[in-house]
């Protein structure tokens, strides 16, 4: 793995933006895998800035988001679709029809999961996948488990994730308990992966990621089996860790 330690989260966002910009410049019809949460916000700010400055063209880009809460629709302010529209898609020239987020209101979730995998395959697979990591090591909504789930599936959020994500909701009991999420196999199929790990709160999981063998109990460790992963951390997360 290629590990980049940046001074702070702002520098980490800039580094990640350079990688995304290079990808889109080299291949204007790139297929991007995108994430929500606090971690990528700085990167999305950078990408919007590059677009406004005329340095990036998203007109041929396609994007697939990692996950969505079951039960939340596009107009729900807590949905990941809403998050992506407001924090990125509406501010750049990506064609909304080329932005894919699992449909949290799908009547037939099994079908939605299958169709999502088919859409990724039809787009030619993901060229560059962005990831954040949960405090418990989850990537997308792949929680610690006894096995790695391959494909886009219905996931149950565990207690720790519900607690962590409750900061975006009025109360903890409003956090949806289930999500549709890309599986470990769908993520590992991406040609390149960038994972951003920033802030003091992520120090312990970054250390486990670097020092533990691959185990589904710490899902992020699976990235060690991928041939093209860049870890972008900041000093707050990386302090004291021997890379
Ligand atoms: C988001 C996602 C999650 C987050 C993770 C970290 O689409 O799939 O795995 O990346 O929970 O979230 P933040 O960045 O808010 O700490």
SS (H, E, C) 4-66: EEECCHHHHHHHHHHHHHHHHHHCCCCEEEECCCCCCHHHHHHHHHHHHCCCCCCCCCEEEEC
How far, in Å, is the centroid of ligand 1 from the Cα of 138? 8
Q: What is the phi/psi pair of residue 139, to 5°? A: -125, 140
* Binding-site residues, ligand 1, Cβ < 6 A: 35-39, 66-67, 132-134, 138-140
Q: Residue 112 catalytic?
A: no
How far, in Å, is the centroid of ligand 1 from the Cα of 36? 6
Ligand 1: nearest atom to the Cα of 67: 7
The residues facing 139 across adjacent strands are 142
The pLDDT tens digits along the chain (243 residues) read 999 999 999 999 999 999 999 999 999 999 999 999 999 999 999 999 999 999 999 999 999 999 999 999 999 999 999 999 999 999 999 999 999 999 999 999 999 999 999 999 999 999 999 999 999 999 999 999 999 999 999 999 999 999 999 999 999 999 999 999 999 999 999 999 999 999 999 999 999 999 999 999 999 999 999 999 999 999 999 999 998
Is residue 131 within 8 A of residue 34, CB to CB? The reply is no
E strands, the chain, in order: 2-6, 31-34, 62-65, 67-69, 99-100, 128-131, 153-156, 178-181, 192-197, 229-234
Q: Residue 143 catalytic?
A: yes
Helix residue ranges per DSSP H, 123-171? 159-165
How far, in Å, is the centroid of ligand 1 from the Cα of 167? 12
Is residue 205 within 8 A of residue 137, CB to CB? The reply is yes
What's the rounded Cα separation, in Å, for the pair 69 and 169? 13
- Is this structure's pTM higher than 0.95? yes
Selected catalytic residue, list 46, 65, 67, 103:
67
What's the rounded Cα separation, in Å, for the pair 45 and 51? 10
Chain centroid, CA 55 distance in Å: 23
């Amino acid at each position: 793995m290629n590990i980049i330690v940046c001074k702070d989260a702002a520098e980490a966002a800039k580094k990640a933006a350079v990688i995304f910009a290079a990808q889109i410049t080299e291949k204007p019809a790139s297929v991007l895998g995108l994430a929500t949460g606090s971690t990528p916000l700085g990167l999305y700010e950078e990408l919007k800035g590059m677009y406004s400055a005329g340095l990036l063209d998203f007109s041929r880009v396609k994007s697939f988001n990692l996950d969505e809460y079951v039960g939340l629709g596009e107009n729900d302010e807590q949905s990941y679709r809403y998050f992506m529209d407001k924090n990125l898609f509406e501010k750049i020239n990506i064609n909304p029809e080329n932005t894919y987020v699992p449909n949290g209101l799908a009547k037939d979730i099994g079908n939605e999961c299958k169709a999502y995998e088919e859409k990724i395959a039809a787009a030619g697979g993901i060229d560059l996948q962005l990831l954040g990591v949960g405090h418990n090591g989850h990537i997308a909504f792949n929680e610690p488990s006894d096995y790695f789930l391959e494909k886009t599936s219905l996931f149950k959020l565990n207690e720790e994730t519900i607690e962590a994500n409750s900061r975006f909701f009025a109360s903890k009991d409003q956090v949806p308990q289930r999500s549709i999420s890309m599986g470990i196999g769908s993520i590992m199929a991406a040609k390149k992966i960038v994972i951003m790990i920033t802030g003091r709160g992520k120090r312990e999981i970054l250390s486990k990621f670097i020092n533990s063998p691959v185990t589904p109990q710490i899902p992020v460790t699976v990235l060690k089996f991928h041939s093209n992963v860049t870890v972008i951390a900041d000093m707050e997360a990386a302090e004291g860790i021997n890379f």
